[in-house]
Amino acid sequence: MTDAGTGQALAWASVSLLQLPDSTVSAYVLTDVEGRFALPYPDEAARRLLVVQYVGYEDLFAAVAGLQPDTLYRFAMRPLQVALEEVTIAVQQPVRRRDDTLFYDIRRFIDSTEQTVGDVLAKLPGFEVSNQGDIKVMGKPVQRLLIEGEDIAGHDYQLITRTLSADVLESVEVWFNYGENPLLTQLFEGGEVAVNLNLKESHKQSLSGELEAAGGTGGFYDGRLHLVALYGRIKQIATVEASNIGRPASYYLWPGGERPDLVAPTALSMLPRRIVHFSEFFNETQLVDRTRFNHMTEASTMGTLRLGGTWRLRFGGALPRERFRQYTTNEWWYAPDDPLNRTDSIERRVDMHAGRAWLWLNGMAGSKTSIKAGIEHARNNENNEAELQAGESRLTRPAWTHTMALASLTHRWEGPRASVLSAEYLEVAQERTLRFTTEVPVFESLLGLGWRQLRQEDALRSQSWRVAKHYLYKTDKGVWMAGLAWTDRNDRWQLARSALSDTT
């Protein structure tokens, strides 16, 4: 598809295949960046009409009966100069493009057999929807799925795709330059791809859900409930899951997907080689076998509250728990005829429970200033008990807490300039209790003692503050950024208590 005068390719032109005589859209596609498109050849070609539409150009009509399958054709469109009153076929574009946004009239593509939002999106031209609920548009991954312009789930939107009822949809928009901070998005390109769902007026208060449940012999069960609730100003999703068939719980709730490590020294460095090796074995080897003996429960929610104007309050929380048992056999070998060589049968019992909650406020203070502030808290507690052999056991109780508070102010200056002022507070606290018990006294050569039990408690607390000011300036060669920052950090660890019991 090209310009009749210049020969320039026309990207994103709307190509419709109409069924006569009622002009029903039987197929639809957009031209790519090189003006190319492809459509399946219809069975009843004599009753099909090809219509190409592009803003600023005359509509192009071609009878499909005069076209051959598997053949490359070149079409040229003429710029629009006068209104063509003699044309009686009026076609409303089912897909329109304005700047970096695509507008879909979904009524031209659905047939009332769709059950979920994912079913509707899968029928729109240029869309791909996976079984897990991930979306692609024009081959580009969609990072966010919005409802009435509100980001409920962030990057974890798959639940909305699979759960929200298709009946609530009025239209769909694709934003190719979306950003959480509208001032920076307007100034700098390269934002995320987002899909916005516009709701019918009669369905702006609705409840959609998905329930799966299964059971089996031996007491096995697996079930989950997903809900999407729309209450006008409040939009919320919630999940409840329970299983004992080996599905892992999402107890790693730390931002960035990582939890901090306890760096305090341990009394294990004073123990005999076998016990030190045992500690390293459990610290560095993945032992979790979730195929049996695993019990997992989790409840979570997230949503938004529209306060008025551009101000939004985002909230969420999660409470996962996981319990499992594991049986392993390990061989400890140091040297030929070494008295420490042996084979242990280990039973390991783990109980982990965690929690996370967050609250974020963002909005516009005038036309050139945006504000974002929030707080997030997470915790993770674990009870890890292992039986090495008869009369020998180890108990570890690690615990982590994480608290973060953040506030930022963005101002858009005249011209391609902006500044961001931010303040951040982060606190990480960890505690760990270790207890090692044995029936046979362990002799420590350095201390000359024999003991039956070791108990140690470690603690670590880290606090950091950061205040920064950044200036951004856009030029033809790119974006320049300069900034100043002040940071302070305070780390404290302590070996609160270490004791040897039943010493001789």
328 closest CA partner among 291, 287, 383, 290: 287
The CATH fold of domain 98-207: Ferric Hydroxamate Uptake Protein; Chain A, domain 1 (2.170.130)
- What pTM value is reported for the model? 0.69
What is residue 67's predicted lDDT score, i.e. its pLDDT? Answer: 82
Q: CB–CB of 246/222 below 8 Å?
A: no
Quote the pLDDT of residue 405: 94
| CA distance to 33, 368, 410, 474, per residue, from 471 (Å) | 35, 15, 10, 10
SS3 state at 290:
coil
* Residue 414 pLDDT: 86
Residues ≥6 apart with Cβ < 8 Å to 239: 159, 224, 225, 226, 227, 298, 299, 300, 301
DSSP line for 259-282: -PPP-S--GGGGS-HHHHHHHHHH
Q: What pLDDT score does 196 carry?
A: 94
Distance CA 132, CA 163 (A): 11
Residues of the chain with pLDDT under 50: 84, 88-91, 247-292, 445, 504
CA distances from 6 to 2, 9, 183, 259, 284 (A): 8, 9, 37, 59, 66
DSSP-derived pairing of the beta strands 205-215 and 135-137:
unpaired
SS3 category, 162: helix
- Token output for 219: 């007491």
For 61-80, letters b (16+ CB in 10 Å) and e give: eeebeeeeeeeeeebebeee
Q: Which CATH number does 2-93 carry?
A: 2.60.40.1120
CATH topology identical between 2-93 and 98-207: no
Residue 192 to residue 156: CA distance in whole angstroms: 14
Name the residue among 370, 479, 487 with its Cα closest to residue 420.
370
β strands within 48-191, DSSP E:
48-53, 60-63, 76-77, 95-98, 101-104, 127-129, 135-137, 140-141, 144-147, 150-151, 169-178
Identify the three-state secondary structure at position 64: helix
Rounded to whole angstroms, the Cα distance separating 152 from 163 reads: 14
> How far apart, in whole angstroms, are the C-alpha atoms of residue 462 and residue 476?
43
Cα–Cα distance, 37 to 12 (Å, whole number)? 10
For tokens 């303040």, name the residue: 423
Residues in CB range of 465: below 8 A, 6 or more apart: 423, 424, 425, 487, 488, 489
Query: For residue 105, which of 113, 119, 130, 97 has the smallest C-alpha distance?
Result: 97
Domains of the chain, residue spans: 2-93, 98-207, 278-501
Do 16 and 31 meet the contact criterion of CB atoms below 8 Å apart?
Answer: no
For 356, residues 6+ apart whose C-beta sits below 8 A from its C-beta are 253, 316, 317, 318, 376, 377, 378, 379
- 3-state SS, residue 357: strand
Q: Which helix (H) or strand (E) holds 329?
A: strand 311-332
Give the pLDDT score at 203.
Answer: 86
Which candidate, 130, 137, 126, places its Cα nearest to that of 178?
A: 137
pLDDT at 180: 81
What's the rounded Cα separation, in Å, for the pair 275 and 438? 11
Model confidence pLDDT, tens digit, residues 264-310: 333 333 334 333 333 333 333 333 343 345 788 889 999 999 998 88
- Chain centroid offset of residue 212 CA: 22
Question: Nearest 5 degrees, angle CA 179-CA 127-CA 69?
Answer: 145
Nearest-5° Cα angle at 13, 7 to 17: 115
Judge whether 151 and 143 are in contact, CB under 8 Å: no
Tokens in use for 88? 């009686």
pLDDT in tens, 208-253: 888 888 887 777 788 889 899 998 889 999 999 888 776 443 333 3
Which residues have CB under 8 Å from 147's CB, separation 6+? 160, 164, 196, 197, 199, 230, 235
